[in-house]
Structure 1
């Protein structure tokens, strides 16, 4: 529950809040201010004072929200107008179809269910509304009546293993079927029979009629009416003070120049020079045109962790939303390295009592910009987030599309304007609704639409926080989101364990990832033959992959077979010069294919090599050759002036290769064993020599 909603709930109980100086004052009917309510006020005192200050600072332009005389052409609300415009561009798109899918266990009365839906449609005008165009302007057209049929699809004849798949396919088909705003009913429902006492309810409504809060209202009213009808009683629901059309008229009148300008000024200042794109690391490049292909993964936090987060929020004087939001932006910060992060979040936009029980499209989107600079501790970040969110709540009436119009961000067809990631905390979980004789549980469906790059939706239930990640499948793989899910949970645990820790140092890796990084991927020990030399192991590889490329230098390359043949020719040649076990041969060549041939040739002859870097000073090379008592050096003609004048025999690989190539290409027989000398390496040493 956010602070604005707390104020609304208290107001509904007759509690009046105001600020005197810096003191929070409250007046309430007898018995309303219980110990629990007083505790709630005390824990949220700072936020309540700030919110009331912000509200008081706004211009006094209050306009009563009441039933009013309706014009001949009913206007749309700002939110409805946005969806109407989008629908004009893509009239066959199911993009804004909102689906609720539930599992029902028990004895279902389908007739009572259908009657219940129709009584709700009769009660809420918005559910029987269409949208026409008059003089190029959209208007609401409310039908006097609308009868909804709820067909039953019986899947019990299918094998049990196929029923769930068929149900998912039906849900997908229902969600993908377009509504036509001007002509067709914008609500449909069907029941799927899975077993004798097991059903699925699929309810699909166009978003222009409802929001998430509305779905909660609809389900609660459905429970009340259904229970009454099943018991042959008349449903009792309080009369609605207004209808959605009244709100649309009021909103157009209220959001006039002074109010609009005050709200706009705040958001313009907040979003000045904000980053236009959050560069999350993706599995694939971003397509030039966003096509909204999506997928979901579910998240479930333990009851213990969920309760710890709730308790921590109370201790810090923050709401659950604030803490989870701060954790979410911390995760995004760790993934992107950006300390200036913009995230969208929906707000119920129902801070008036008249709107509490009304079905309609009220939800607005806030653009929250978070400053994570200076590597703050999580506690410090939460304080920043709390202040920013409270300020945003005080300026939450500006419709999102009006903000976009005012800011005129540079449009890019590959991503959404202003923000690309969303965070949602649901306030009214459907799982708490009860229907007479039925046990209800959510039916997870695989959404194939993603409006943003990434959306995290959570809701607090009796068993803990649950929700889902909805992501753009063109950008991310399922495995990436699964890792992100694990990182988020690890991050939350780290926050609870040490909220004073800088956000850059909070843990992210799961135990499994730590095991992989620190143990599994470092476990390089392996059994190998300890009585073979390097050149013999190479020869075994030649047999396995003779035609594979073994060495590449610039535009030259040799296969394993070619490299082995050349090294063998050199080995036979060196053997003829007396090279055998423990005989040291110097090799002074530039980086080249000849260098690799030379090293292998020396080893195959049974000798050991002394690497001589031609970039070394002449005196350094002289010392190494004299100290090692080398009698033979492999080099190149062009390096003649680099080497000191010595008694050691010099073989120029480039000049002498025609002679070397006359030798046998077969593997030589070597007397060298694994314990013989393979090389001698000179370091700078403590003597400096």
Structure 2
């Protein structure tokens, strides 16, 4: 007799559940099967997939594809009859999910409505990959479509060759289900080829029974003595303060909505390492999953993910033998948290993993979907909740390996029997990536001897480039080799770089030896004056100066300053608006051997007086003589306009002594937000080191926009990068500039290099990205840089 848990759904109490237990052993008891409703509640796992389907719409994200190359005489009619047999045997394969009062329900179809259509299509050999992809990448309308489809691709180039493509939506099946599905299909096909109906043992329960039993057995969340309440309490504590998102070494900004388009790279761990990993696992009382989990967590931590690493792993969820042969969505997902704080050895990390995992297994009944609802993390269509990296380790070769060994009329451990047909796997292109990264490994054995770990690393192509994931795969293999050999070494000492990579980081990238500038900023500038005197040096609204003209004006002002006592070890204050004259004044101060101290026009008078007194400046260069009364009696005022309008004095600048490359170029004061403002001194050599470093592409400095306040350190780059590379400073108008004004300046003046704060960069890029069409380099920072702006 078929046992129906569904009868409990109609019962006024759940007392009948005790009949399923006999002195602590799970022994099935026959229960009277009652007339049941056609529309029933979904399981917790089904509800989440249905909900995601509502968010994403019809998609292939949760398709489970299987493609098999069949060589021989395929009996299509027998196949169609076998598909009907399998659909009749497994209710999950003929279930649709309509909404009732806004909630999904299981509706089990009967008769022809519950049988999938088996379509035969003719394709050429060259067209097989595209035809397979066309089948497996089409989504299911869960309210109307049966949750599986079957296509036979008749390969016209080769008589007797076809490809059987079978796709099941995850809401109706899980990975385990593919075994009974293929086995039952094979049994039914073999029988139908003989003109007979398949003979098999009746299934004790159906998936709808399980979904009702699941709700009943877990109990009421409001009952503190229920299974669900106790396990939920554990998970709330175990996953408290879980990282919202792992920081992974992605190549592309995370999109607002994940595409779920994926690809894979292979992973192969040697037999020698496998043997050592088995020995290490046994010595720690751990499983291979725990050992690989610890290694994967160490790798992710070393790649920048931190010390708190949540990793997801599937668990079969078939807690009763009666479910083993049933097609359905039983698999649950556990969040396994790895703590790498405190610099543990790998063995210590593995012991932590073992303790955490064993506790998780003891509380595995809470459906992941319910866990998400309880913990209520920040929801995002850009990432999977609670974890973004999945790990699967099987203790045997994956199911697909059985197909590799299949031959005509043979029986494999999966129960696959296809009379008169040779069967082999057909590649399926277009991997779907549900997670950022997914590591799937299976242990292989030569008789009983470990023969290596084989698998793949799936990844989201909207986040990673293939080369990056290939590096990750190699590093995982190398890390497993290392920890298997030296498990008692601290994880911080584990090397994840290959020999060539390590050489590149330590030697090539760190080869900073070069000839440092031994000249002052003015000497470097004057070299360009001699080389390209007629090249444009400064452009502003009021005038344009060549290198020769700028040098002549700076010399004229420098002679005046030198006559007033400016020279080495002397500070000269600058209180000026942004202008071509300001550039002239900076050069002039340096030509005397003195260093300049910029004053911010937006700061209060008390701040300006403090700066002038602290640096002992006795000269103040300004373009606003009417506003400098606050310095009367403390500093001599030099008005730039008056000096430059006066007749030029003859002769070169005669500073009291050369400042030298290690002499001060300027002193710039901090904001004072944590105390009194402090002067930060920069030398000529320091500024030249910055702007002439080979990390900058000097061609990008052809036209640099000078828009930062000259009392802000970003102005150092804006001024000296172009002047020391023979390029042009484009001076923005004085005062505060909004985003629209900067957009116009960038476009009108054909700017090639610009420095912007992260916030300003985001505003400009998002409202007018075209203004950057001629820009070759944007230097930005100070806050999180917007991925949208970067794109």
Aligning the two structures, in what range does the TM-score lie when normalised by the shorter sequence?
Answer: 0.5 to 0.7
1:448-477 deviation per Cα after TM superposition (whole angstroms, max 9, x unaligned): 5x444443333445774222323372x555
Question: Is residue 455 from structure 1 mapped to residue 438 from structure 2 by the alignment?
Answer: yes
What's the offset of the Cα at 1:347? Answer: 0.9
Kindly indicate whether residue 73 of structure 2 is the aligned counterpart of residue 73 of structure 1. Answer: no
Deviation at 1:412, TM superposition (A): 5.3
Using the TM superposition, give the Cα deviation of residue 115 of structure 1 relative to its aligned residue in structure 2, in angstroms.
Answer: 5.3
> What residue number does 1:155 align with?
123
Supply the distance in 2 between the matched residues of 1:508 and 1:548 (Cα, whole angstroms). Answer: 49
Alpha-carbon separation, structure 1, partners of 2:157 and 2:659: 76
2:94 is aligned with 1:128: yes
1:207 to 170, 175, 179: 170
The Cα of 1:382 is off from its aligned counterpart by: 0.8
| 2:335 is the counterpart of 1:367 | yes
Residue 303 of structure 1: which of 243, 247, 270 is its match?
270
Q: Which of 465, 468, 476 in structure 1 is aligned with 2:454?
A: 465
Give the whole-Å Cα distance in 1 for the aligned partners of 2:97 and 2:352. 43
Displacement of 1:120 in angstroms is 3.2
Equivalence for 2:399: 429
- The answer to whether the aligner puts 1:339 opposite 2:301 as a matched pair is no
Task: Say yes or no: does 1:495 pair with 2:483.
Answer: yes
**Shift in Å at residue 338 of structure 1?**
3.4
Task: Find the aligned partners of 1:595 and 1:520 in 2 and give their Cα distance.
Answer: 41
Q: 1:274 to 1:658 in 2, by over 3 A?
A: same
| Aligned with residue 507 of structure 2, among 487, 511, 519 | 519
The match for 2:151 among 181, 185, 189 is 189
Change in Cα spacing, 1:91 to 1:480, as seen in structure 2 (3 Å) is: closer
**Deviation for aligned residue 1:318:** 1.9
Deviations 1:468-525 (A, max 9, x none): 323372x555555455444434433332343223233322334443343233334568
What is the rounded CA distance, in whole Å, between the counterparts of 1:511 and 1:494 in structure 2?
14
Alignment of 1:624-639 (within 5 A): none
1:216 aligns with 2:182: no
Aligned to 1:380: 348
Q: Tell me the CA shift for residue 652 of structure 1.
A: 11
Give the drift of 1:214.
Answer: 0.8
Q: How do 1:220-299 residues align onto structure 2 when only pairs under 5 Å count?
A: 220-222=183-185, 240-257=203-220, 258-280=226-248, 290-299=257-266
Kindly state the Cα deviation for residue 655 of structure 1 after the two structures are TM-superposed: 6.9
State the Cα distance separating 1:253 from its structure 2 match: 3.5
SS of the residue 2:509 aligns to:
helix
CA distance in 1, matches of 2:542, 2:512: 30
Match of 1:100 in 2: 65
Cα shift readout 1:517-547 (whole Å, capped 9, x = no counterpart) = 233334568999x9xx956863587489x45
> Which residue does 1:646 correspond to in 2?
none
- Residues 572 and 596 of structure 2 are in contact (CA less than 8 Å); yes or no, is this contact kept in structure 1? yes
Maintained 8 Å contact 1:150/1:190: yes
String of CA shifts for 1:390-422, please: whole Å, max 9, x gaps: 221122122223334444556556554433443
1:263-662 to 2 correspondences below 5 Å: 263-280=231-248, 290-304=257-271, 305-306=273-274, 308-336=276-304, 338-409=306-377, 411=379, 415-426=383-394, 428-433=398-403, 434-437=405-408, 438=422, 440-441=424-425, 443-447=427-431, 450-460=433-443, 464-471=453-460, 473=462, 475-476=463-464, 480-522=468-510, 538=528, 542=532, 546-547=535-536, 562-567=546-551, 593-594=583-584, 597=587, 657-658=644-645
Counterparts of 2:139 and 2:554 in 1: how far apart (Å)? Answer: 76
TM-score (norm 1): 0.66
- Deviation of the 1:227 alpha carbon: 7.0
Report the secondary structure of 1:496's partner residue: helix
Helix, strand or coil: the match of 2:343?
coil
Q: In the alignment, is the contact (CA less than 8 A) between 1:459 and 1:467 conserved in 2?
A: no
Quick check: 292-301 or 101-110, which moved more? 101-110
Q: Distance between the aligned counterparts of 2:232 and 2:24, measured in 1? A: 16
Deviation at 1:380, TM superposition (A): 0.7
What is the rounded CA distance, in whole Å, between the counterparts of 1:61 and 1:401 in structure 2? 29
Rate the CA distance shift 1:326–1:147 in 2: closer, same or farther, 3 A: same
Task: Give the counterpart of 1:176 among 138, 145, 160.
Answer: 138
| Cα distance per residue 1:417-447 (max 9 Å; x no partner) | 4334433335633222344343523624223
- Quote the Cα distance in structure 2 between the aligned partners of 1:439 and 1:482: 31
Helix, strand or coil at the partner of 1:213: coil
> Greater shift after overlay, 324-333 or 112-121?
112-121
8 A contact 1:79–1:362 mirrored in 2: no
- Partner of 2:177, secondary structure, is helix
The 3 A distance-change label for structure 1 pair 681 and 277 is: closer
Distance 2:287 2:67 in 1: 29
Q: Against the structure 1 CA distance between its residues 535 and 464, is the aligned structure 2 distance closer, same or farther, given a 3 Å change threshold?
A: same
The structural deviation recorded for 1:95 is 4.9
* Deviation of 1:322 (Å): 0.9
Q: Deviations over 1:271-309 (max 9, x none)?
A: 34444444446556655x545443333232243455554
Q: 1:199 to 1:310 in 2, by over 3 A?
A: farther
| Cα deviation 1:24-70 (Å, max 9, x = unaligned) | xxxxxxxxxxxxxxxxxxxxxxxxxxxxxxxxxx9987664466414
C-alpha distance 492-217 of structure 1, shift in aligned 2 (>3 A): same
Higher deviation after alignment, 392-401 or 511-520: 511-520
Query: Unpaired segments of 5 or more residues in structure 2?
Result: 1-20, 221-225, 409-421, 445-450, 560-566, 575-581, 598-609, 623-627, 653-657, 665-791
Question: 1:633-663 CA distances to partner (integer Å, 9 max, x unpaired)?
Answer: x9979999999xxxxxxx9998755568689
Please provide the CA RMSD for this pair: 5.4
**Partner secondary structure for residue 519 of structure 1:** helix
The Cα of 1:213 is off from its aligned counterpart by: 1.1
Change (3 A) 1:356 1:339: same
Q: Distance in 2 between matches of 1:574 and 1:402?
A: 75
Rounded Cα–Cα distance in structure 2 between residues aligned with 1:444 and 1:543: 65
Residues in 1 aligned to 2:35 and 2:237: alpha-carbon distance in whole angstroms: 37
8 Å Cα contact 1:132-1:182 kept in structure 2: yes
User: Match of 1:212, SS?
Assistant: coil
Q: Which has the higher contact order (CA 8 A, sep 6+)?
A: 1
- The superposition leaves residues 331-388 of structure 1 with CA deviations (integer Å, 9 ceiling, x where unpaired) of 3333445333333322111232222222111111212233322121121111111121
Native 8 Å contact 1:87 1:93 kept in 2: no
Q: Give distance in 2, aligned partners of 1:243 and 1:232.
A: 27
Q: TM-score, with normalisation over the residues of structure 2? A: 0.58
Unpaired runs of 5+ residues, structure 1, are 1-57, 576-583, 603-608, 622-633, 644-650, 669-676, 684-689
Give 1:210 deviation, angstroms.
0.2
Relative to 1, partners in 2 of residues 1:59 and 1:511: Cα closer, same or farther, differing over 3 Å? farther
CA distance in 2, matches of 1:497, 1:223: 45
**What is the rounded CA distance, in whole Å, between the counterparts of 1:60 and 1:384 in structure 2?**
35
Output the CA distance in 1 between the equivalents of 2:192 and 2:649: 103
Larger mean CA deviation between 373-382 and 331-340 belongs to: 331-340
8 Å Cα contact 2:558-2:589 kept in structure 1: no
Aligned residue number for residue 603 of structure 2? none
Distance 1:131 1:228 in 2: 32
Are 2:69 and 2:163, in contact at CA under 8 Å, matched by a contact in 1? Answer: yes
